Amino acid sequence: MARILIAEDDDNVREFVSRALELKGHEVMIAEDGGLGAEVMEKENGNFDLLLSDIKMPVMDGIALALMVGAQYPNVTILLMTGFADQRERAHGLDALIYDVIAKPFTLASLLEKVDDALNNKPIEIVSYVRQNIDQYKKS
DSSP, collapsed to helix, strand or coil, labels residue 61 as: coil
Edge-to-edge strands, sheet with 50-54: 27-31, 3-7, 50-54, 77-82, 100-103
C-alpha span between 93 and 56 (Å, rounded): 16
| Cα dist from 25 to 3, 61, 103, 129, whole Å | 10, 27, 23, 26
pLDDT at residue 136, rounded to an integer: 47
Q: What is the CATH number of the domain that holds 107?
A: 3.40.50.2300
Is residue 68 within 8 A of residue 38, CB to CB? The reply is yes
Q: How many domains would you assign to the chain? A: 1
**Would you write out the chain's pLDDT as a tens digit for each of its 140 residues?**
999 999 999 999 999 999 999 999 999 999 999 999 999 999 999 999 999 999 999 889 998 999 899 889 999 999 999 876 555 555 555 667 788 889 899 999 999 999 999 999 865 444 344 444 444 444 44
pTM: 0.82
pLDDT at residue 121, rounded to an integer: 81
Full domain range(s) for residue 60: 3-139
Is residue 37 within 8 A of residue 54, CB to CB? The reply is no
